[in-house]
């Protein structure tokens, strides 16, 4: 009996033998259990606290304004006080584990920067513990700056509770909780400034990462993740949107992108592969909460801190609440009749932020425990066949147990089938490469799985 259709086979066995066995016998080569919830990741998800997140949001709002050009001398008001508080909290909660630094640069005057200003990110790094994986890193961010209706107004109140104290609080909570645990790869928890002036904080980090050739295998930004109530008053706390870019809109296509398009792989960019993994892991660890992948870079007319990473070739994604209320972002606090306008803490829902943080944390933990995505994956096209020959380079992690080939119909958004193939670097699949999309994932002994790598045609 062929065992390359695990999902279908298991269903058929269940239907046929429902009376005798509750669980189907796994095939001999099933490999480690890749769908079980792991105790350590469960613990992290359980430790994420809506109460602490609420306290972080309220404290951030208490600085009055966090405008990028606001006061930096006061201990109680302005962006300087805010970032010193963020740094202090991370140093306190992650003592001995997190390496917390101010990462700043002097930004010159431009259209939205009225005077030269120091733009400072607060970067907390949790170094990986496996030599083979330590250089691989995952970055999660929120922006701690805020704005008013007039984005040049650096003195008036701008609470920014949802945009983006929500994302900042989620990142702080993840940093504090996850620093108590160990991961093979490195995690970077970052809160950035000057998102509202032109993504300058994240651009500076992404550009330096590119210059230093850092191996950032994934990046998530959390921006406006604070409310489950949309502008029509409907509450939907059962999902979060995850924006994932396909083909970048550049004038000159890099060769790799051209090959992706030539083989129909426009839905298999690295951000889309990462998004599939985040959805799978996030929904496993956070029950009754859906990760709704949106196959585009961002919302219309909007941008975010993932963009500078995407523009430099890193796989980056954006988390945002399901339906925004535009009365509660980028607006001066005021009343219009009975309508309260402004980004106030009363309009954020800490329990909802915690759910989004749990999805982030589960995905980050799983990614940082898993091996790297296989490199140099090829689909061999030397001759015409109705099978598929796949090859790849061997991973180096000591806890690697093998590889998993995944595939789906060409019209399907998510992986539909998988086969664990063991510790090999070549496999022939009895399916036509013309009719499905394949991916290859690396698997460790605990069942942690890397994002899939799309095979490029090779000979
Ligand atoms: Zn924002």
DSSP string over 332-377: --EEETTEEES--GGG--HHHHHHHHHHHHHHHHHHHHSPPPPSS-
Low-confidence spans in the chain with pLDDT less than 50: 1-28
> What per-residue confidence (pLDDT) applies to 18?
37
> What per-residue confidence (pLDDT) applies to 459?
85
Ligand 1 ion: Cβ-proximal residues, 5 Å cutoff: 163-164, 223
> What per-residue confidence (pLDDT) applies to 29?
65
How many whole angstroms from its chain centre is CA 451?
A: 12
Tokens of 402: 């093998």
pLDDT in tens, 350-392: 999 999 999 999 999 999 999 999 999 999 998 899 999 999 9
Instruction: Decide: 209 and 135 in contact? Cβ < 8 Å.
Output: no
> What per-residue confidence (pLDDT) applies to 285?
98
Q: How far apart are CA 334 and CA 442, in angstroms?
A: 53
**320: CA distance to ligand 1 center in Å?**
9
**163: CA distance to ligand 1 center in Å?**
5
pLDDT in tens, 55-107: 999 999 999 999 999 999 999 999 999 999 999 999 999 999 999 999 999 99
> What per-residue confidence (pLDDT) applies to 186?
98
**164: CA distance to ligand 1 center in Å?**
5
**398: CA distance to ligand 1 center in Å?**
40
Q: Are strands 456-458 and 426-429 parallel, antiparallel or unpaired?
A: unpaired
Burial 366-390 (b: 16+ CB within 10 A, else e): bbbbbbbbbeebbbbeeeeeeebbb
Q: Are strands 436-444 and 388-391 parallel, antiparallel or unpaired?
A: unpaired
């Amino acid at each position: 009996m062929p065992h390359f259709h695990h999902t279908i086979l298991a269903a058929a066995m269940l239907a046929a033998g429902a009376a005798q066995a509750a669980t189907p016998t796994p095939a001999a080569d099933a490999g480690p259990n890749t769908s079980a919830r792991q105790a350590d990741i469960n613990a992290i998800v359980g430790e994420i606290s809506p109460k602490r997140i609420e306290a972080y949001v309220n404290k951030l709002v208490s600085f009055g304004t966090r405008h990028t050009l606001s006061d930096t001398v006061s201990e109680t008001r302005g962006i300087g006080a805010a970032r010193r508080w963020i740094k202090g909290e991370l140093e306190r909660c992650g003592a001995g584990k997190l390496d917390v630094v101010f990462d700043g640069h002097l930004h010159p005057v431009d259209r939205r920067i009225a005077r030269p200003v120091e733009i400072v990110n607060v970067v907390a790094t949790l170094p990986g513990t496996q030599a083979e994986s330590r250089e691989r890193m995952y970055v999660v961010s929120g922006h701690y700056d805020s704005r008013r209706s007039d984005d040049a107004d650096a003195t008036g109140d701008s609470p920014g509770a949802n945009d983006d104290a929500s994302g900042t609080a989620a990142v702080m909570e993840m940093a504090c909780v996850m620093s108590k645990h160990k991961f093979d790869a490195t995690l970077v928890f970052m809160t950035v400034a000057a998102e509202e002036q032109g993504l300058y904080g994240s651009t500076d980090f992404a550009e330096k990462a590119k210059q230093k050739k850092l191996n950032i295998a994934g990046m998530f930004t959390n921006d406006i993740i604070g409310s489950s109530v949309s502008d029509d008053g409907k509450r939907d706390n059962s999902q979060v949107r995850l924006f994932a870019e396909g083909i970048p809109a550049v004038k000159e296509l890099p060769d790799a992108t051209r090959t992706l398009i030539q083989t129909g792989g426009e839905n298999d960019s690295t951000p889309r592969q990462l998004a599939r993994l985040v959805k799978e892991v996030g929904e496993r660890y956070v029950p009754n909460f859906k990760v709704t992948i949106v196959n585009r870079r961002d919302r219309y007319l909007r941008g975010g801190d993932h963009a500078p990473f995407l523009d430099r070739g890193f796989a980056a994604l954006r988390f945002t609440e399901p339906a925004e209320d535009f009365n509660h972002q980028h607006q001066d606090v005021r009343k219009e009749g009975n309508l309260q306008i402004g980004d106030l803490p009363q309009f954020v829902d800490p329990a909802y932020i915690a759910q989004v943080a749990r999805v982030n944390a589960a995905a980050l933990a799983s990614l940082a425990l898993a091996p790297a995505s296989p490199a140099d994956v090829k689909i061999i096209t030397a001759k015409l066949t109705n099978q598929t020959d796949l090859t790849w380079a061997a991973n180096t992690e000591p806890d690697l147990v093998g590889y998993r080939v995944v595939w789906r119909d060409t019209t399907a958004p998510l992986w539909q089938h998988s086969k664990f193939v063991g510790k090999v670097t070549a496999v022939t699949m009895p399916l036509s490469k013309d009719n499905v999309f394949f991916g290859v994932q690396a698997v460790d002994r605990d069942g942690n799985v890397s994002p899939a790598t799309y095979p490029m045609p090779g000979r």
